[in-house]
């Protein structure tokens, strides 16, 4: 597609859409993807945002799996990326500065002195072209033009959302460029397996990573890859988050124990009371574990409850933060003639 105007194709029997407000005079849609169990995922073409994911708990009662809102206005305002599709570069680029070869680039500064999640108007704040294919997948397309937020190259991005009968939300990212540019795409769902934004202390977590990227006091990677063993970051065997949790603690990138580009299981979270288990599979080399430390009750969940810190968590599959600044990190520069490809699957079951 050559433009950034929404295009809607014929809807599938398991996919419906309805108006979801307007942004700058342009209509926004909300798509609902259903599976055979009647479970659903809702996705807006504003920011490729996952606004809801509903499935049954161990008692057969439907409940929500992520933090979200029924009113579109919350998503159109300033918020900490609830359910957002994040890019052109997810996570941080220190001082908005990087080199490609010997050429220096500067992107927008929107997080203290640093660049975060694509800048002031990243992929989470644009209206994507939307189409439903013959298989019931939601196809989103966006042309990020050369110079947008300071990034070089025209980047054509396609993101496919699939929702299966096995309660799997599969996200496939594809991109191509006409000039070398950093690319790092992820989704920023805040998982809440309790369905009631309760503290996450009793959620049991496994992350298959023996190393993490060390950061300074501004959360910028130092370049060191350090062992998790003997630290509160060690989830190599299942542990309750609350057993290790410290105030404002988790916002860390894990170096996953897998070969780069190989699709594999990397993390599992279990909430005993609801019986819900979340499994994460990805081709990405890193996983950001974030415990919503910045939330202070100023946002209210769809149930009306204030959303406090550490009442939800994110498991963002990604390339490492600041990868363009550390040559020994997995490469995040996309070149013309190459295709960026990444796949992540979130699966929720009852145990």
Catalytic residues: 188, 316
Per DSSP, what are the bridge partners of residue 118?
none
290 vs 14: CA distance, rounded Å: 32
CA 273 to chain centre: 25
| Cβ burial, residue 53 (10 Å; 0-12/13-18/19+) | buried
Per DSSP, what are the bridge partners of residue 127?
46
The label of the residue with tokens 């003997």 reads 230
In the chain, count H helices and then E strands. Answer: 2, 29
Phi and psi dihedrals of 325, rounded to 5?
A: -95, -5
Residue 61: partners with Cβ closer than 8 Å, 6 or more residues away: none
Q: Which two tokens stand for residue 292?
A: 């919503």
- The dihedral through the CA atoms of 30, 189, 218, 200 has a sign that is positive
Distances (CA, A) of 297 to 74, 84, 308, 309, 315: 14, 19, 5, 8, 21
32 vs 37: CA distance, rounded Å: 14
> Is residue 54 within a helix (H) or strand (E), and if so which, with residue range?
strand 49-56
Question: DSSP character for 201?
Answer: T
Instruction: Yes or no: say if 47 and 84 are a contact pair by the CB < 8 Å rule.
Output: yes
Give exposure, 263-292, as e/b (b: 16+ Cβ within 10 Å). eeebbbbbbeebebbbbbbbbbbbbbbbbb
């Amino acid at each position: 597609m050559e433009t950034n105007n929404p295009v809607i194709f014929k809807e599938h029997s398991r996919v419906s859409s309805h108006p979801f407000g307007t942004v700058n005079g342009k209509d926004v849609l909300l798509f609902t993807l259903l599976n055979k169990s009647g479970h659903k995922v809702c996705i807006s073409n504003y920011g490729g945002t996952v606004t809801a994911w509903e499935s049954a708990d161990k008692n057969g009662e439907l409940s929500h799996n992520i933090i979200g809102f029924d009113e579109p206005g919350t998503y159109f305002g300033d918020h900490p990326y609830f359910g957002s599709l994040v890019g052109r570069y997810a996570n941080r680029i220190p001082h908005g500065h990087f080199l490609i070869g010997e050429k220096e680039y500067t992107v927008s500064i929107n997080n203290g002195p640093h660049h975060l999640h694509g800048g002031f108007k990243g992929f989470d704040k644009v209206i994507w072209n939307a189409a439903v294919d013959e298989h019931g997948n939601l196809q989103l397309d966006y042309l990020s033009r050369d110079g947008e937020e300071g990034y070089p190259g025209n980047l054509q991005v396609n993101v496919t959302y699939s929702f299966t009968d096995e309660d799997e939300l599969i996200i496939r990212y594809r991109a191509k460029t006409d000039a070398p540019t950093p690319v790092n795409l992820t989704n920023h769902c805040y998982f809440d397996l309790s369905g009631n934004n309760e503290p996450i202390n009793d959620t049991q977590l496994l992350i298959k990573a023996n190393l993490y990227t060390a950061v300074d006091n501004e959360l910028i990677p130092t370049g060191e890859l350090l062992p998790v063993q003997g630290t509160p970051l060690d989830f190599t065997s299942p542990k309750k988050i609350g057993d290790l949790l410290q105030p404002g603690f988790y916002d860390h990138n894990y170096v996953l124990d897998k070969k780069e580009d190989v699709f594999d299981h990397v993390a599992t979270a279990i909430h005993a009371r609801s019986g819900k288990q979340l499994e994460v599979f990805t081709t990405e080399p890193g996983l950001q574990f974030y415990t919503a430390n910045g939330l202070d009750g100023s946002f209210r969940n769809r149930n009306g409850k204030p959303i406090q810190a550490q009442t939800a968590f994110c498991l963002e599959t990604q390339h490492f933060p600041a990868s363009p600044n550390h040559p020994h990190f997995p490469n995040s520069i996309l070149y013309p003639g190459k295709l960026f490809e990444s796949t992540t699957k979130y699966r929720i079951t009852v145990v």
